[in-house]
Structure 1
Amino acid sequence: MRKAGIVGLGAMGAGIAQTLRANGYEVHVCDLRPGVATAFAAQGGVACNNPAEVAAACAVVVSVVVNAAQTEAVLFGAGGAAAAMKPGSTFVMCSTVDPHWSAALEDRLGQAGIHYIDAPISGGAAKAASGQMTVMSSAKPQAYAQAGAVLDAMAGKVYRLGDRAGAGSKVKIINQLLAGVHIAAAAEAMALGLREGVALDALYEVITHSAGNSWMFENRMAHVLAGDYTPLSAVDIFVKDLGLVLDAARASKFPLPLASTAHQMFMQASSAGFANEDDSAVIKIFPGIELPKGKGKGKGKGKGKA
């Protein structure tokens, strides 16, 4: 049976693991949270105690963690994958990171004979679980030769954007620029609707069938209507991702006025106590509005002075 390893069984990682299993792979998994890997393995697959165990069993290891620091820990921390990976094996990095950091990681792993694919992902938990997510990848041909089938098995769209690491991450942070700005704009529009006394259900229905709609409005403002801020993608994810966008632009002195404003909005939401809520909680920074109540964490009034 074909094997693949997954490190990190969060919303996206769990979906990828499920998709690979459904496509006939023996999936070896690990996660820092107790019981998560064993729960996955109970439905089929192999639970491992750390990334090194995953790497010892699989020639392709897919890392689905939050950021560069966590990826470093997956590879080079205690029980890390790098020391256990055989020469010629491939490490697939799915986090949103600085493109220059990703390019440097390719060189570092290459010195140990390990192939590397810069492969940030997009689409959300539902598309990851259904095998319909998008992979924005770049890698040397040798890496694709070994791990290309795994990428194709875990995603609906796999874009090959270059023959060196970094190109995939550049495209991903541009995607995140749009995603973050769209969420911030959607929250602003919904907040204005509340302030003006518009019925939110009606506003949502009209906008989602009109030219002003975006995927982020349709997806995230449904969370606001439900009053459910359970984090599928947290506020602090966009503090990080838009920070990466601005860092990249600053290096070339390129102006990004909309991304800068959106970043400040997520920063404000984070510092107001909503850091670990769903990113739609950025709407809570607007003053003098009464948000729909529901089962989610952090429901109630928008914060700030009226």
Structure 2
Amino acid sequence: MNIAFIGLGSMGTPMARNLIAAGHAVAGYDPNPKALAVLSENGGKPAATPAAAGQGADVAILMVVNAVQAEQALFDGGLLAALEPGAMVVLMATCPPGAVKTIAEHVGQTGRNFVDAPVSGGVAGAEAATLSIMVGVGDAVFERISPVLRAMGDKIFHVGQEAGQGATVKVVNQLLCGVHIAVAAEGFALANKVGIDPNVILEILGGSAASSWMLKDRGPRMLQDEPPVTSAVDIFVKDLGLVLEAGREAKAALPLAAAAYQMFLATSGRGDGKADDSQVIRSYSLLNGTG
């Protein structure tokens, strides 16, 4: 297929490369000239605008930061109008379900198809084409878009027939991830307060019923002063903000998500927003006088 790929960041670049490797023709847009140069090196076609990337495309993939950027590319940047009639617009960014539904309505009014398909798996999953992709769209369009999605992920979940359902699953995923990181930091904070070696706590909990993927992944980095950044604190400020927005839309109470959000927000507010998200533990250390 001819694919327009918008958003060539740390995840978008390897996703586009995997599409090219699968035999798709990819034209890409990103405001960063270096990202466009890498796309060209990978066999893609750099475009100066979203509209130029979308010219004659059967599929448009948006791997942007948020819904606002998706709307800018589609409507202000001319991407939607440049696509072929009946083309598929695939939104893979993490966005509020309500915003996804609104974008889907506008896309549908032009006779094109909208695919709600957020991803999970991070940069590592994007590099290895092992992303989990949560898709909300009707059966016929799901069948059409599946070969494209399989070039980027090996776990494709058809979670519902409507736009916004994929976004909701991703929001639930981020709720659990954010709360798991925060509660792991809280557990370490209690151990630190009474003088227990956090390395011992990590070893015990990692092999017990209290373990989680996030504990095993973020726990060791919580014990480092300046761990390498795999996902920044500000990512969870954004994502847990989306979780709470989704809760407001659905009138669902999410008290644990709200508490975790405040801890990430406090960490960012002190200037640590670009630190690894495991460093939310710094806020717990300050609260308990152990930092």
Asked if these proteins are the same fold (TM beyond 0.5), I'd say: yes
Partners of 2:26 and 2:236 in 1: CA distance: 30
TM-score normalized with structure 2 length: 0.90
Give the residue type in structure 2 aligned to 1:286: Y
Q: For residue 73 of structure 2, what is the aligned residue in structure 1?
A: 74
Moved more, 159-168 or 203-212: 203-212
Q: For residue 145 of structure 2, what is the aligned residue in structure 1?
A: 147
Alignment of 1:171-186 (within 5 A): 171-186=169-184
Q: Per-residue deviation at 1:252? A: 4.4
Unaligned residue ranges in structure 1 (runs of 5+):
289-301
Alignment of 1:240-259 (within 5 A): 240-259=238-257
Partners of 2:17 and 2:227 in 1: CA distance: 25
Alpha-carbon displacement from aligned partner over 1:60-117 (angstroms, at most 9, x marks no partner): 111111111111122123x341121121111100111121221121110111112110
Q: CA RMSD in A?
A: 2.4
Q: How many residues align?
A: 291
Partners of 2:168 and 2:30 in 1: CA distance: 27
Moved more, 87-96 or 196-205: 196-205
Unaligned residue ranges in structure 2 (runs of 5+):
none
SS at match of 1:11: coil
Q: For residue 61 of structure 2, what is the aligned residue in structure 1?
A: 62
Give the residue type in structure 1 aligned to 2:248: R
Alpha-carbon displacement from aligned partner over 1:151-170 (angstroms, at most 9, x marks no partner): 12211111112222011111
- Does residue 15 of structure 2 align to residue 16 of structure 1? yes
Moved more, 22-31 or 67-76: 22-31
Q: For residue 220 of structure 1, what is the aligned residue in structure 2?
A: 218
1:218–1:248 CA distance, 2 compared to 1 (3 A): same
Indicate if the aligned counterparts of 2:18 and 2:151 stay in contact, CA closer than 8 A. Answer: yes
Indicate if the aligned counterparts of 1:115 and 1:142 stay in contact, CA closer than 8 A. Answer: no
Partners of 1:15 and 1:303 in 2: CA distance: 41
Alignment of 1:92-103 (within 5 A): 92-103=90-101
Q: Per-residue deviation at 1:251? A: 4.0
Q: Per-residue deviation at 1:189? A: 2.4
Indicate if the aligned counterparts of 2:3 and 2:54 stay in contact, CA closer than 8 A. Answer: no
Moved more, 171-180 or 54-63: 54-63
Indicate if the aligned counterparts of 1:99 and 1:169 stay in contact, CA closer than 8 A. Answer: yes
Q: Per-residue deviation at 1:19? A: 2.2
SS at match of 1:282: helix
Q: For residue 49 of structure 1, what is the aligned residue in structure 2?
A: 48
Moved more, 55-64 or 9-18: 9-18
1:227–1:140 CA distance, 2 compared to 1 (3 A): same
1:18–1:196 CA distance, 2 compared to 1 (3 A): farther
Q: Per-residue deviation at 1:145? A: 4.0
- Does residue 112 of structure 2 align to residue 114 of structure 1? yes
Q: For residue 192 of structure 1, what is the aligned residue in structure 2?
A: 190
Q: Per-residue deviation at 1:198? A: 4.0
SS at match of 2:207: coil
Q: Per-residue deviation at 1:265? A: 0.7
Partners of 1:223 and 1:182 in 2: CA distance: 14
TM-score normalized with structure 1 length: 0.86
Moved more, 39-48 or 247-256: 247-256
Partners of 1:225 and 1:16 in 2: CA distance: 32
Give the residue type in structure 2 aligned to 1:146: R
1:191–1:250 CA distance, 2 compared to 1 (3 A): same
